[in-house]
């Protein structure tokens, strides 16, 4: 399971949990991403409406996505909710967890090439990458295309190995953004001025894995 440097989750964070014990008033769970810390889901947070039998909704060893309601480190208590997790959030968290598990495997492979284990990899670079990029998979997406920038964060050797591993595995998402702009210039060489502005705009993003194209729609509009 993917590790986190922080010992405790944040309020409103989505977390993956394993149901450990079900009782009439709720369920005890372990937080998979936080070193098996325990949390509790009150019966009122299991599902909306009146619950006749809690076991109709949760069972031991079931994996669930929960929202963090409250965290009390002194009492070592985490209050959680299932019913407040939207279907879209649940799908997102489930898919993100799969990507994170893939990323952790890539981190382990990279560590092996440096004759290190996974725990060492987390301590040396993994936690730092999580803090910088939010999660490991986003970090490795970056590593796949920006080794030089990554070296400033984790050092040249780690950056080299992470880039090699991620480049052959991670598929960076591609997005297409379309917009319209009105351009006009009253100068005698207005057409050339507009053309020059477009070329400068296109060239300003070269090297960022970005492609810009302009199309004439009808004066003064371009797409």
C-alpha to C-alpha distance for 59 and 47, rounded to whole angstroms: 13
Between strands 14-23 and 26-31, the pairing is antiparallel
pLDDT recorded at residue 148: 66
pLDDT recorded at residue 35: 79
| pLDDT, average across residues 22-51 | 92
pLDDT at 128 > cutoff 70: yes
CATH code, 88-167: 1.10.150.190
* Residue 7: closest CA among 51, 72, 95: 72
Provide long-range contacts, Cβ within 8 A and 24+ apart, for 208-215: 209/145, 209/172
Percent of the chain with pLDDT over 90: 43
For residue 80, the cross-strand partners are 41, 68
| pLDDT, average across residues 50-61 | 94
Q: Where are the domains of the chain?
A: 14-85, 88-167, 181-222
Report the predicted TM-score, pTM, of the whole model to 2 decimal places.
0.67
Which CATH superfamily hosts domain 14-85? Answer: Nucleic acid-binding proteins (2.40.50.140)
């Amino acid at each position: 399971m993917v590790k986190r440097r922080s010992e405790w989750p944040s309020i409103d964070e989505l977390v993956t949990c394993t149901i450990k014990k079900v009782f009439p008033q709720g369920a005890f769970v372990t937080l998979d991403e936080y070193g098996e810390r325990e949390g509790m889901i009150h019966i009122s947070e299991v599902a909306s409406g009146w619950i006749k039998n809690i076991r109709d909704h949760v069972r031991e060893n079931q994996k669930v996505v929960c929202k963090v309601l409250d965290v009390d480190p002194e009492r070592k208590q985490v209050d959680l909710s299932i019913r407040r997790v939207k279907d879209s959030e649940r799908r997102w968290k489930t898919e993100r967890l799969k990507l994170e598990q893939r990323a952790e495997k890539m981190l382990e492979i990279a560590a092996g090439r440096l004759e290190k284990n996974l725990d060492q990899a987390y301590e040396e670079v993994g936690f730092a990458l999580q803090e910088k990029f939010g999660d490991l998979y986003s970090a490795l997406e970056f590593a796949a295309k920006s080794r030089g920038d990554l070296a400033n964060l984790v050092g040249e050797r780690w950056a080299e190995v992470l880039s090699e591993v991620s480049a052959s595995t991670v598929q960076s998402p591609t997005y297409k953004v379309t917009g319209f702009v009105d351009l006009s210039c009253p100068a005698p060489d207005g057409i050339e001025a507009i053309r020059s502005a477009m070329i400068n705009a296109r060239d300003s993003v070269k090297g960022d894995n970005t492609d810009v194209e302009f199309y004439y729609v009808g004066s003064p509009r371009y797409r």
